Structure 1
Amino acid sequence: MTHPPATPSAPSPIDRLALAVATEPERAVNPFMSAPSGAREEAMRFLLQTGAEAGVRMIATQPSGDGERLLGQAWPFPSPFRVTVRTVALSEGLDRVEARARRSLERLGLPRGEALLVDNAADLAGAEGRALWDRLQALKARGLFRSIGFCATIEDGPALLARRLEADVVQIACNLLDQRAAAEGVLDEIKSVGAEVHLSSVFAGGLLFAGGDDLPPHLADHAQALSRTRRRLAERRCDPMQAALAYVFSLETVDRVVASVASAAEMRAILAAAHAPCPDLNWSELALEAPAAFTADARIRISSAA
């Protein structure tokens, strides 16, 4: 008796989720800020274990702060995670960039990383850009990183840069409020040159969750538009986190969605929102009409991967 072939199950959104653990004061409540050392390590261990048990397999790191050391002391054993590392600024010098990338692996307690990303695409466009890229290629050739790439905003011309450098990975900001990278075909262009697409700033730097009184002065003009977006979501019974994740996971060209998380409780909230069914929404009507205005500080939000 023959049986029909099994229908493959749809991939879980968690398969595409990467975590950027926030250990700096980027949250109103952050267990890594005020707790004693032992408690901080335990909080990190609990967060990572929560993610691992849910199927998360990638962690995105940055060299600032104490995050790399905390991660290195808290990995579950055996660790299921692959790790992306970011460079320090080119202004610190080529030797410093290379040494700090190596140091990141040491602090993380890892023999190799999944990807090494230039923190600012503008560093690659300057006079020392080619020399910087050569350093990254050398680290990849030595087996310290499986792939290399860069972090960018839409203004950096990331697809052209990825094509010129033959980059393996491009991390770029895109979210429900600023959909330009998707709407203007930038994500498709990046993918077409053979690079993986990693999305950052998926929660719009926290703007989706901020009330009018919480907005910084230079964003006050957007209070009404943000309120309108939240009202539309409420009418469809879809909370902002659920909508933010549903939007980025709907983008087929995206390989990884980098979500910032500061605690196991936030981790559980992200997991629940990622799995929750979201009603059909008109994504374009939820975006800000002039997103460039609120993304003037996008580089900061890329750094926090929020």
Structure 2
Amino acid sequence: MKLSLGTVQFGSDYGVSNTSGQVEISEVEDILREAECHNIDTLDTAAVYGSSENILGKVGVNQFDIVTKLPPIPKNVNNIDLWVSGHVKSSLSRMCVNSVSGLLLHQSTDFLETPKRRLFDSLSRLKDDGVVKKIGVSIYNPDELDALENYDMKMDIVQAPFNILDRRLEVSGWLDKLSQTGVELHSRSVFLQGLLLQEKNQRNPYFNKWSDYFNKFNEWINDTNQTPLSATLNFSYSYEQINKVIVGVQNKSQLTEIITSISKSPQYSIPDELIIDDPMLINPTNWKL
């Protein structure tokens, strides 16, 4: 299945719409069983996702393809090879696995701020040794791909935000370009941390300044007889250029609801007025809550 299961909630109380805190380990086991039953074969995690990697190791995840991410690289690192291999070894140990399907940089600037190719060569050696199958980068803005383009580094995976409001990846041309060059695209933030699924009275007052966008979104889904979940999920799911759509859940029933909301029916045209490039809204790291 095209869905990939995000695991940040397994290790922390992540998400602007998260009202139940970190997922209990018994619930994690139920979620993973439900994922298996519906042929969801990929888990997305990271060393900085709280105790996520430890939880995955405790419940057992050898049956899944795992994509994890290195933490940001400190500026005082003298030996990139040792730093990378040490962190990867620690991640594998926490998850009780011998290898991972994908290893991404959590921030693309690490490629630019280390001597050219040293970091990429370190990742490539792990790939050659069979410790990781694919290497890549997680980005927040397609401009980061512009900066990396001049480097002679072939990425296998790019993870990027993409949703009904945030269509920068498409507008910039990188959605097609990644697909044409054989790079896997894993889209995240499909629900914008759950913000797109919240009712007006549930949203933090910080978001009031964008009420017009949310009102237009609600008018559109009402006119087209969609739910916020089906509209946002199927928007990203419908793009052939996207290989994996990452979703995070707090319980098994949420995952079941997501799975049953996937539709193969024709997608509705998205009004242009729903597109927004304001980083204070579409980049959660900028939110002042």
* TM-score, with length taken from structure 1: 0.82
Compared CA separation, residues 111 and 44, structure 1 to 2 (3 A): same
Compared CA separation, residues 47 and 57, structure 1 to 2 (3 A): same
1:14-51 alpha-carbon deviations (Å, 9 max, x no partner): x111001212112212462xxxxxxx332211110010
Percent identity among equivalent residues? 20
Indicate yes or no: 2:38 matched with 1:50.
no
**Aligned 8 A contact 1:242 1:278 in 2:** no
More moved, 211-220 vs 256-265:
211-220
1:66-121 alpha-carbon deviations (Å, 9 max, x no partner): 11111112136xx4310001001111633434312221111111111001000011
1:50-72 alpha-carbon deviations (Å, 9 max, x no partner): 10001101000111211111111
Indicate yes or no: 2:257 matched with 1:269.
yes
Indicate yes or no: 2:17 matched with 1:29.
no
| 1:157-306 alignment runs, 5 A limit | 157-158=144-145, 161=148, 164-216=152-204, 218-274=206-262, 276=263, 280-285=267-272, 287-297=274-284
Shift of 1:287: 2.5
Higher helix share: 1
Counterpart amino acid of residue 47 in structure 1: I
Counterpart amino acid of residue 125 in structure 2: A
Indicate yes or no: 2:35 matched with 1:41.
no
Q: 1:75 aligns with which of 39, 60, 71?
A: 60
Indicate yes or no: 2:7 matched with 1:16.
no
Compared CA separation, residues 286 and 113, structure 1 to 2 (3 A): farther
Stretches of structure 2 lacking an aligned partner (at least 5 in a row): none
More moved, 175-184 vs 145-154:
175-184
What CA RMSD, in Å, does the superposition of the two structures yield over aligned residues? 2.3
In 1, Cα distance between equivalents of 2:250 and 2:170? 27
In 2, Cα distance between equivalents of 1:287 and 1:128? 41
Shift of 1:129: 5.5
Report the counterpart of residue 146 of structure 1 in structure 2. Answer: 133
Shift of 1:214: 4.3
Task: Give the number of equivalent residue pairs.
Answer: 276
